[in-house]
A = this chain, B = another copy of it.
Amino acid sequence: MRLLLANPNTSQNVTDLIASVAMQYASPGTQIIAVTAKSGVPYIATRADAAVGCLSTLELMAEHATGCDVAVVAAFGDPGLGGARELLSIPVIGLAEAAMLTACMLGRNFSVVTFSAALVPWYRECVEYNGLASRFSGIHHVEGGFADISTVRHEKQELLVQLCDRAVREDGADVIILGGAPLAGLATEIGGKVSVPLVDGVGAAVRQAETLFALHPVKARAGSYKQPDAKQITGASAALASLFTDRT
């Protein structure tokens, strides 16, 4: 199975991290193809960043999905997920979506712990968009800035553990999602220090992608995710234009 990990951020070192963690969680036989946005922001945090990231997701999917069996929007918050799910004929899932739905199988309520205040409003909207507000118990973030996005999980590790403890104590969380692609791999490192299950977004997404593949779902020919009619698009890459325009 070939799994496309499309990182709509421009940080190659975050893509490297995601790919590495993805391989740890993947089943034997799953091949990871990890790609990075050519334009946009180093790390998508706000609604504005996400608006830019949407297009990057589509561009990456258009360029790299051919030959893949399933695709993952490899940024927590899932920018461009709905559009990609419409356009592609293979299943597409998002990091946040996968993490949240997986968390629902480990407990009644999940909280999110993340590394920057800037992410909070967008993550909240993501919970609501998924219709999971009744399963959501809160979100906690590290205060202040950080030195390097690709190592923030180590730099702030102690604070992140403390925030997990706080989510358990204050929110009564049954499960905690470590939110944000740069926290990939952290669940394994701190799992023993937290008293409830942790969900790694990348781990969840890889496994859920395998799940969808195993179900061999048809591409919808009806409903809200059928492939849209052909439409002209200007200013897009040739690959993306082809996704919008070519129908066979």
Q: Which residues of A contact B (CB under 8 A)?
A: 10, 25, 27-28, 38-42, 45-52, 54-55, 57-58, 79-80, 82-87, 91, 93, 97-98, 101-102, 104-109, 118, 120-121, 124-125, 128-135, 168-169, 172-175, 187-188, 191-192, 194-200, 203-204, 207-208, 210-212, 214-218, 220-226, 228-229, 231-236, 244
15 A-B residue pairs with Cβ-Cβ distance under 8 Å, sorted by A, are: A38-B234, A39-B233, A41-B232, A45-B231, A48-B86, A49-B231, A118-B229, A120-B224, A131-B131, A188-B216, A192-B218, A198-B215, A204-B211, A207-B210, A207-B214
Taking a contact as CB atoms closer than 8 A, the residue among B195, B215, B233 that contacts A187 in the complex is: B215
Within 8 Å CB of A52, what residues of B?
54-55, 58, 83, 233, 236
Is B212 a contact of A102 with CB atoms below 8 Å?
yes
Residue of B nearest to A169 (CB): B222
Assembled-state Cα–Cα distance A145/B159 (Å): 33
Assembled-state Cα–Cα distance A83/B80 (Å): 14
Assembled-state Cα–Cα distance A133/B134 (Å): 10
Within 8 Å CB of A174, what residues of B?
220, 223-225
Within 8 Å CB of A173, what residues of B?
223
Is B46 a contact of A86 with CB atoms below 8 Å?
yes
Q: Which 10 A-B pairs have the closest CB atoms?
A: A39-B235, A197-B217, A121-B224, A48-B83, A47-B82, A51-B83, A51-B54, A207-B211, A174-B223, A131-B134
Known: A54-B52, A93-B105. A204 touches B208 (CB 8 A): no
A212 CB to closest chain B CB (Å) equals 6
Known: A40-B233, A195-B221, A215-B207. A105 touches B80 (CB 8 A): no
Assembled-state Cα–Cα distance A168/B176 (Å): 26
Is B203 a contact of A215 with CB atoms below 8 Å?
yes
Within 8 Å CB of A129, what residues of B?
125, 128-129
A209 CB to closest chain B CB (Å) equals 9
Assembled-state Cα–Cα distance A106/B101 (Å): 12
Is A228 a contact of B48 with CB atoms below 8 Å?
yes
Assembled-state Cα–Cα distance A244/B134 (Å): 30
Is A105 a contact of B208 with CB atoms below 8 Å?
yes
Is B211 a contact of A196 with CB atoms below 8 Å?
no
Within 8 Å CB of A225, what residues of B?
106-108, 121, 174
